[in-house]
Chains A and B, each alone.
Chain A
């Protein structure tokens, strides 16, 4: 079963992180990705630009509306995600707990609702 880890944290906490610390973080994440790959559970990941750069698109009102900014203002923001393929929720939760982002933020684990064969 595929699981997506949505990584939430407070962007404000990272506004003034010095470049060395940032490089160190990248390395830590690199190691985590390596561990996921080695275990054969890694599917995908990305690290996102801050919500201040977000653009929201919708056709829900009938016509295309493009707006500057995120869909909703929240205390913690979505900063990245991982997709893993794990046999069950317990295995997925164990991997989520090992994610470096869990140390400073929250990780929402969501199972895939996509019918098999269509991923």
Chain B
């Protein structure tokens, strides 16, 4: 153990919390059945760490240390609630103060099980459908409410309030923390898969060197990849679980090609296919081919299939854009989102030319384009290609303003400046 200053301690803690938060909450919540109280307990453990670690040094196993502190806080709270009201927070049997829990170090051995239980509780049909995936993202995958709100295009306060309400309902109506019988899986799996994908996307978008920092692969991407893998193994008869595992593995295979050596973003069709992780690509392809055997198409399988076509460039040296356009056509009927429309429009332009791409992007209204960075970037590309550089600059500028600071924003900034220099 080494003594450290408060600032170093805080930095270390936030680094540890990034990975451990969701795991700590999942374990405590699956034991106590009270998600909000578990989150409070973990927050108390962070406070305790900030007090103790600077003088005593970083514990050998910080995660187990936090687990122990959080567990103590949870038990203390249950005790004081019990003595205050003679009711227990956790059970009505009267002997409920003791939260059944193993030694903090060995709790982590059962982590997959705890996380699965919590995911299925959050995906319960008694919980409002629109909050299931956000709830899983927050409690199991450790995303912050603000991040989730951004992913679902909702005000943070609204999202936070809905999350609180859902957690109270889980506690108050006795939604079980159990992996349900197989027959109940299909009705719950959608939210679980959506949450894992959302967490992957959030990690992906932040997996970038920050202003000063080193380029890092986001731990949450690795976590989502692992969870998707686990779900695919647990649910081999759910083609969409396999589809998601394929999708994430394909995307993760490009982690090494996505940024240039100086930390700049490299768009997919400009990436060097030999930098893609061949092992991950093979695993993704395997998942996708198993999924296809069920003959039930779904959103994640289609998106994974788009990735598979891109991955084929390593073998053939070119991208089969017409295949991609057709796959996006399928996605348009299954899950029509602005993202799909934009991606399809870009693919159409690569296949048939800019004016056809522009026509395909016309499925979005000007207002829908104005509020969606990817659509603005796509329209800017079409404009620039057809000589309308002023319009292109205007759209790029809007997109830059909409984006959070990060590699994507910097990439557009470079593009913007390059384009502007051709005019001035």
Contact = CB atoms under 8 A, between A and B. Distances in A.
Nearest to B92: A116
A111 B87 contact: no
A116 B85 CA distance: 10
A113 B173 CA distance: 9
Interface string A71-107: 0000000000000001111101100000000000000
Interface of B: 85-88, 92-94, 124, 126, 172-176, 178, 180
Contact of B94 (A86, A90, A117): A117
A89 B92 contact: no
A86 B176 CA distance: 11
Interface in A1-45: 1, 3
Contacts of A115: 85-87
Given A1-B92, A115-B87, A88 B175 contact: yes
Interface of A: 1, 3, 86-90, 92-93, 109-111, 113, 115-117
Contacts of B124: 89
B176 A90 contact: yes
A113 B124 CA distance: 20
A113 B172 CA distance: 8
B93 to A, nearest CB: 8
Given A88-B176, A113-B172, 18 more contacts: A3-B174, A87-B174, A88-B174, A89-B126, A89-B173, A89-B174, A89-B175, A89-B176, A90-B175, A90-B180, A92-B174, A109-B173, A110-B173, A111-B174, A116-B88, A116-B92, A116-B94, A117-B94
A115 B175 CA distance: 18
A89 B33 CA distance: 13
Nearest to B88: A116
A117 B172 contact: no
Nearest to B180: A90
B173 A116 contact: no
A51 to B, nearest CB: 27
Given A90-B180, A93-B126, A117 B174 contact: no
A26 B178 CA distance: 36
A116 B174 CA distance: 14
A83 to B, nearest CB: 14
Contacts of A86: 174
Nearest to B125: A93
Nearest to B91: A116
A12 B288 CA distance: 54
Contacts of B93: 116
A109 B176 CA distance: 15
Nearest to A92: B174
Contacts of A88: 174-176, 178
Contacts of B176: 87-90
A116 B87 contact: yes
A72 B185 CA distance: 39
Contacts of B174: 1, 3, 86-89, 92, 111
Nearest to B87: A115
A38 to B, nearest CB: 22
Nearest to A90: B176
A63 to B, nearest CB: 33
A91 to B, nearest CB: 8
A1 B90 CA distance: 11
Nearest to B177: A88
Nearest to A118: B87
Contact of B173 (A87, A111, A117): A111
Nearest to A110: B173
Top 5 A-B residue pairs of the complex, sorted by shortest distance between their CB atoms = A116-B92, A88-B176, A115-B87, A111-B173, A1-B174
A90 B85 CA distance: 28
